[in-house]
Structure 1
Amino acid sequence: MQLATIFIGFIIFGFSENIKGPAIPRIQFDFQLNESQLGTLLALNALGYLLACSFTAWLTRIWGIKIVSIAAFGTMVVSGVLIYVSRSYPVFSSSYFLMYIGNGMLEIALAILGARIFVKNTGMMMNLTHGFYGLSSTVAPLISTGLMSVTLYGHTLDWRGMYLIMLSLAVVPILFALRSSFPGDSLAHEDRIPLTRLMRDPALWYLVLILTFGVVSELAVGGWLVNFLEKAYEWDTVTASGMLSAFFLCFALARLILGPLTDRMGFTLSLLIFSAFSAMCTFAAIALGEDYAYLFAGAGIGIAMIYPTVMALLAKKYPNGADTAITFTVTLMGVGSVIGNYLIGGVIEVTKNLYGEGTQLGLTRGLQAGYGFIGLCAALSAIFSWILLRYLRKRGEVL
């Protein structure tokens, strides 16, 4: 029951985060939103996500992880119903905000569940569970597109019906969670490591940096790869989207297949090797040109391993403070991710101006510089992994 809750939970998480792509243009049309209003909507949702990340560990200490997990899934179901019945923009935006609150709660709850359940083969199991997130993320846009065109009893589901159906799937892990008992809630409060003590550990700050740069590199690919291939290499949308799908496929398979290697090599060394591999693939793809564009997809093999391996390392290093350490790390990662994505856009604009605004050369160099920043983030993740490895070796605490 525990395994079913966490595995299905990651599938639902992947769906809820990645069904929005095909729906956003229709939502924008229905509510007559301009680009600024749409950006504000997405920014507020990111705020809701970070807000939920910040209070979920606190709720876990009060209610226990079982109730918090059920509450996270329940929030997703309720938001799906509210999105379906929304006919005004204020109601819709509030419902969408609630969905991202649920997403943030689910992010932390699933990470805490994994830390408590996977006490053996932690790296393999963390990567395996996150692999299911990768698989559901890969198919989510296709399922979303298909459902929006389905007609039932003469009524087209469209984006409202699609959200209702997809988010209602969260009922399934609720049923498993209700029949489960999860370890860790019985740990006395005085036995838990306080945040103030954790924050004095340099290793935790290194992990924050490793995770932040790794996740910026990971998430930026979804937003920039297709754009890069279409504008720099003049690929058509189908071919460029196919390369993005190849990235996600490499991403998901890496987590499913390579997880056992992290336990054998050690978590810290794994972070160094995989983030460096992703950086090298990205830099080589840019430097070698269009014929080597497949290396963009190959970068997914390395960057996929960063998030679950950091979660595994946190679970092992802070067995009595994993809840707090995970929440602290993921919340700061979220803030850093927002800043990182703004920086990518800024690098592109500055470089375009240097090489000629409005020219093909300026556009190409700008996109190359922006994508180079994505590779730089993976490289910085590798550098801080090396610093962490040296720090832990000096203390005899390498994991």
Structure 2
Amino acid sequence: MNTTLENTTTATPSPGASPKRIYTLQLLTVFIGFLIFGFSENIKGPAIPRIQLELGLKERQIGTLLSLNSLGYLLACSFTAHLIRKIGIKAVCLLAFGSMVLSGILIFLSRSYPELSGSFFLMYIGNGMLEIGLAVLGARIFIRNTGMMMNLAHFFYGLSSAVAPIMASGLMTLAVGGRAIDWREVYLLILLLAVLPMIPAIAGKFPDGGHSDEDRIPLRTIAADPVIWMLIAILSFGVISEMAVGGWLVNFLEKAYGWDGTAAAGMLSVFFICFTFARLFLGPVTDKIGFTLSVIIFSALSGLLTFAGIAAGEPGAFLFAAAGIGIAPIYPTVMALIAQRYRRGGDTAITFIVTLMGVSSVIGNYLIGAIISGIKNIVAASRGAEDGLLLGLQAGYMFIGLCALLCSLSAIPLYRYLKKRGELL
């Protein structure tokens, strides 16, 4: 695969619009978009224990709920690139933001597990469309210092991810008119914020793909590149490890160690603080030492810190937060690699990789819930329910750390393959 494909073109300035203003509006859409993305993804940390209690759900049902969410994300990934070619990236971003607002309203109205599952499913369709849309937009506008700029864009995702658990947990302790704010109202309030990035998106002009359909790299050519399949393995393990923390860390700390909701949400926020500033400060490092080597080093660090946290017990809980330093650069660094390697087929490559990565995410979320339930039931039969729950939660969290290590191991063949051909990025 040719690694020197030409740069994509930027949007042609409309009369009276300066290139600087156009680029500023593009940046605002990407950065604010990632802020909203982080909020929508990570309210679930403190919300899930309350959803589980109110609706009487088991861990396996929670795992299934998260898997259905990933399925909505996967569905969106499968059609978003085609939609971008048909209606344009601007319309796709607006549609994604709008569906997130609608899902917030539907979550607010949900009163049963099926209704909630359907509402979350829609939210993740919006998230999936937004993920592809922002990734494609970033690949088109971040021509120079791609690794740094991709990590900077995803820094905003980490920033809102750090704030989201504390904000959601704090809101759920407030009372308005003598009635406590519940998780439904928190989702409504936060998802309504998706209106904000619609403003620069409407006002701005976005770049097209820069190539006719005839000039694009066809999907069959991209699928025949061994690098694509290595990247799918890397992202699959890396994203399972990254996303699972938002869904399971609070649950783990509350049930395994008896932490209250505020303290557990606080530790999740510390994870995202580490995660956020790792993306801010390690972005230039990825450009300097190379994208592939960065993935090997940082994902291994995350996995080792996670296993150390489990081995140390409750005093080592801070290591779960520190693991965010390692896992944070993985996704944006791989996106930067894709943007550099597949200039003529970036939208197709991103969609193909993220769609297959989404399949792994569906399986991974389900496996975590199934591992927790399975180990809990086996151990509870011989050692009691308390030991069963603790060991089940530890086993589920060990799977999260294992995925980070497998991400690192999956990057080693890619490093060797690219180095042998003189194509390291």
Whether TM-score is above 0.5 comes out as yes
Aligned to 1:97: 121
| Aligned match of 1:129 | 153
Q: What is the aligned partner in structure 2 of residue 62 from structure 1?
A: 86
| Matched residue SS, 1:321 | helix
Q: How does 1:114-193 map to 2 (within 5 A)?
A: 114-147=138-171, 149=174, 151=176, 158-159=182-183, 161-193=185-217
Q: Is the 8 A contact 1:64 1:185 kept in 2?
A: no
Q: Partners of 2:78 and 2:207 in 1: how far apart?
A: 22
Task: Quote the Cα distance in structure 2 between the aligned partners of 1:350 and 1:41.
Answer: 17
Q: Deviations over 1:208-265 (max 9, x none)?
A: 1111111111222234434444555555555444433322211111112211111111
Q: CA RMSD in A?
A: 3.2
- Whichever residue aligns with residue 382 of structure 1, its letter is S
Within 5 Å, which residues of 2 pair with 1:65-84? 65-83=89-107
- Alignment partner for residue 332 of structure 2, among 308, 311, 314? 308
For residues 112 and 396 of structure 2, what CA distance do their matches in structure 1 show? 37
State the alpha-carbon separation in 2 of the partners of residues 390 and 54 from structure 1.
Answer: 30
Q: Is 1:370 paired with 2:396?
A: yes
Q: How big is the shift at 1:146?
A: 4.6
1:112 aligned to 2:126? no
Q: Compared with structure 1, are the counterparts of its residues 283 and 322 closer, same or farther at alpha carbon in structure 2 (3 Å cutoff)? A: same
Change (3 A) 1:138 1:177: same
> Is residue 278–residue 301 contact of structure 1 (8 Å, CA) maintained in 2?
yes
Distance 1:93 1:363, change over 3 A: closer
CA contact 1:65–1:185 (8 Å) conserved in 2: no
1:1-399 correspondence to structure 2 within 5 Å: 1-23=25-47, 35=58, 42-83=66-107, 94-147=118-171, 149=174, 151=176, 158-159=182-183, 161-230=185-254, 238-348=262-372, 353=378, 356-358=382-384, 364-399=390-425
Q: CA deviation at 1:62?
A: 1.0
Q: Cα 1:90–1:275, aligned 2, differ >3 Å: closer, same or farther?
A: closer
> 203-212 or 365-374: which moved more?
365-374
Gaps of 5+ in 1: none
Unmatched runs of 5 consecutive residues or more in structure 2? 1-24
C-alpha deviation, 1:73, in angstroms: 1.4
Amino acid at match of 2:138: G
Q: Please give the alpha-carbon distance, in whole angstroms, between the structure 2 residues aligned to 1:86 and 1:348.
A: 27
- What's the CA shift for 1:389? 0.2
Matches of 2:391 and 2:181, distance apart in 1: 43
C-alpha distance in structure 1 between counterparts of 2:344 and 2:219, whole Å: 11
Distance 1:337 1:87, change over 3 A: closer
Alpha-carbon contact 2:136-2:350 (below 8 Å) kept: yes
Residues 357, 363 of structure 1: 8 Å contact kept: no
The alpha carbon displacement at 1:83 in A equals: 4.8
2: CA distance, partners of 1:285 / 1:62: 48
Q: Do the aligned partners of 1:86 and 1:92 also contact (CA within 8 Å) in 2?
A: yes
**CA deviation string 1:163-203 (max 9, x = no partner):** 44322322221120122222233421111111111111111
1:340-386 superposed Cα distances (whole Å, 9 cap, x missing partner): 23333444556563794427666555444433322221111111111
Structure with greater contact order relative to length (CA < 8 Å, sep ≥ 6)? 2
Indicate the SS of the match to 1:191.
Answer: coil
* Shift in Å, 1:391: 0.5
Question: Letter of the aligned partner of 1:220 in structure 2?
Answer: A
CA distance, structure 2, for counterparts of residue 147 and residue 238 of structure 1: 11
Report the TM-score when normalising by structure 1.
0.87
Aligned residues: 397
Cα distance between partner residues in 2 of 1:283 and 1:161: 36
- Asked if 1 retains the 8 angstrom alpha-carbon contact of 2:240 and 2:400, the reply is yes
CA distance 1:186–1:339, change in 2 (3 Å):
same
Residue 327 of structure 1: CA displacement?
Answer: 1.1
Q: Which moved more, 1:43-52 or 1:201-210?
A: 43-52
Which amino acid in 2 is paired with 1:77?
V
Cα 1:215–1:45 change in 2 (3 A) is: closer
* Higher mean C-alpha deviation, range 329-338 or range 312-321: 329-338
Alpha-carbon separation, structure 2, partners of 1:160 and 1:312: 36
